[in-house]
Homo-oligomer: A and B are copies of this chain.
């Protein structure tokens, strides 16, 4: 087997990832992807046949990554509120290293029913177990009087909303993902602190 093969296939995939993340499916052009990868654009079709096929590879990859977001640290034996804090912070940091994923998924999902269904089918099974596990912990803590009652889905959505839009705002105001300024970093650490505080306060009895 040749090595060029795996190499250029990966080159194309990397370029596709970069451009699809920025522009979405309809905004990205296969010729731009080929150019970015430094290859003849026929090669793109040779390896991936269609634009949609190439896109799906990127999309599924990123969807998986997004789901890992909520690999909550609930199997540790830390106090509940500590686990929540850690969940929020690691979710925030995860987005920090993958800042374009949430908007990428949302963009396709709101404008494309197939993608919407795909994500729902992927998310529901996983989310269900996470949410039920969370419900148990919440009930326990509510019983102990440590926290006030909350629906697991609300808690998760609150965390995701605050964290995701913190980064979207950072991309818009500070051009995050392309530049990195002190102001940006200050903004992000302020948001991180804020998000933890807001969620923890919302759980107070």
Residues in chain A within 8 A of chain B (CB atoms) = 22-27, 100, 103, 106-107, 109-111, 113, 116, 119-120, 150-151, 154, 157-158, 160-162, 164-166, 168-169, 171-173, 175, 190-191, 194, 197-199, 201-202, 204
CA distance A11 to B68 in the complex (A): 45
Is the pair A161, B166 in contact by a Cβ cutoff of 8 Å? yes
Q: Report yes or no: A111 in contact with B169, Cβ–Cβ below 8 A.
A: no
Contacts of A116 in B (CB 8 A): 172, 175
Contact A172 B24 (CB under 8 A): no
Taking a contact as CB atoms under 8 Å apart, the answer to whether A23 and B111 are in contact is: yes
Contacts A197-B202, A202-B202 hold; do A190 and B103 have CB atoms under 8 A apart?
Answer: no
**Residue A166 contacts which of B22, B157, B173 (CB distance < 8 angstroms)?**
B157
Residue of B nearest to A155 (CB): B194
* A22 closest partner in B (C-beta): B111
Q: A26-B24, A151-B190 are in contact. Are A157 and B169 (CB under 8 A)?
A: yes
6 contacts between A and B (CB under 8 A): A26-B26, A27-B27, A100-B110, A107-B107, A120-B172, A198-B198
